[in-house]
């Protein structure tokens, strides 16, 4: 038995995406920077993919730069905007992905950038009135970087309001949209935003393929020097087959978004209901249990204090159930989730992030509930 409930970390490759990638592998192998026929064929694949991605977020093809994924994009966008515009202040939150937390901390330490964290309540809801107040001064010297959908507790940022506040103050805005692209409609024409990040493996595409949206007219220094690929922003031969998979995955996700949303919401609600029915004392972290106001793929559960909880993730893994204790990038670490700590989570409770995809079924949830009851000693194994 194998049940995968860690899709916020990475999703299974869609068979149609695999087929598109194999087809590309069979057809093209030239360097897209070469001017001969083989190179032009690869270049055509590249630009077709760029156009597809642009259409799906209502951007211009020239505003899409291919990267290796979310971490690279977040790092590059934040550093790039700070350097390009000589920014002196960054406003973010302590609930961000480490890709954002670590680069902003680095810039603060190495370059003396003022780093400000927004307050949040015990549900992880950020104080946007505080943001408005902070932006009332030094707006033109400020970068705001806040994620659209939290990867651990599922909270959704009012990204349009944040963009409007930045526009009014003359501030710059980057958003880690890794968990929202492919799961929610994203329209960059409807949001005042300078850069955002996407990663294929979060919506059933391949790992190692992602993109950065850079709003037309926004300055972005070269992230990697070399042959001048990707509009001289990111030199290096592009990962053509991965990019083909990225575009196909986003195309499928966008076309089928309503059906996938409905199905996954049903599975998530079923799990929340079953947990409440069968395990006394469970609580839900952040906004994750609010079906209409959270990322529908994520349910973050806090289990009551018990000696049996200490090895809960390990025990589930032994039973063939894959879940996470927080962000997958730190799930092997001995420290707890910085997000749960940031919202005042109790140290004696174990938090588990269950995250779902279009491939999960209610029958799997029944099995997982049974396994949890066995592990927690609520029934005889």
- Which residues does the annotation mark as catalytic? 329
CA atoms of 93 and 96, how far apart (whole Å):
6
Tokens of 182: 């492919």
Closest CA to 274 of 161, 152, 364: 364
Tokens of 6: 């860690």
Residue 281 · residue 296 · CB < 8 Å: no
Q: Output the CA torsion 80→83→87→92 (10° steps).
A: 30
């Amino acid at each position: 038995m194998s049940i995968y409930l860690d899709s916020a970390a990475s999703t299974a490759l869609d068979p149609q995406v695999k087929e598109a990638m194999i087809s590309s592998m069979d057809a093209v192998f030239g360097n897209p920077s070469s001017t001969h026929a083989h190179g032009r064929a690869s270049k055509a694949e590249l630009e077709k993919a760029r156009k597809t991605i642009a259409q799906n977020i209502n951007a211009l093809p020239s505003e899409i730069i291919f990267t290796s994924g979310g971490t690279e994009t977040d790092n590059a966008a934040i550093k790039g905007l700070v350097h390009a515009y000589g920014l002196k202040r960054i406003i973010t939150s302590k609930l961000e992905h480490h890709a954002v937390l670590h680069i902003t901390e680095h810039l603060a330490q190495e370059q003396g950038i003022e780093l400000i964290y927004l307050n949040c309540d015990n549900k992880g809801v950020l104080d946007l009135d505080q943001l408005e107040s902070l932006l009332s001064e030094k707006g033109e010297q400020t970068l705001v970087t806040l994620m659209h959908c939290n990867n651990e507790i599922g909270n959704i940022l009012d990204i349009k309001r944040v963009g409007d506040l930045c526009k009014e103050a003359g501030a710059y805005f980057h958003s880690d949209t890794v968990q929202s692209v492919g799961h929610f409609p994203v329209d960059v024409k409807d949001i005042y935003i300078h850069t955002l990040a996407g990663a294929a493996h979060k919506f059933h595409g391949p790992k190692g393929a992602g993109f950065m949206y850079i709003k037309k007219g926004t300055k972005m220094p070269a992230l990697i020097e070399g042959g001048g690929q990707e509009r001289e922003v990111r030199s290096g031969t592009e990962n053509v087959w991965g990019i083909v998979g990225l575009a196909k995955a986003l195309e499928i996700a966008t076309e089928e978004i309503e059906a996938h949303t409905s199905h996954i919401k049903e599975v998530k609600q079923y799990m929340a209901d079953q947990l409440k029915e069968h395990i006394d004392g469970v609580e839900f972290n952040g906004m994750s249990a609010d079906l209409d106001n959270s990322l529908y793929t994520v349910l973050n559960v806090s289990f009551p204090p018990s000696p049996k909880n200490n090895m809960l993730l390990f025990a589930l893994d032994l039973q063939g159930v894959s879940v996470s204790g927080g962000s997958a990038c730190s799930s092997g670490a001995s420290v707890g989730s910085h997000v749960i700590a940031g919202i005042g989570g109790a140290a004696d409770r174990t938090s588990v992030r269950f995250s779902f995809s279009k491939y999960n079924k209610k029958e799997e949830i029944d099995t997982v509930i049974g396994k949890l009851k066995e592990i927690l000693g609520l029934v005889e194994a």
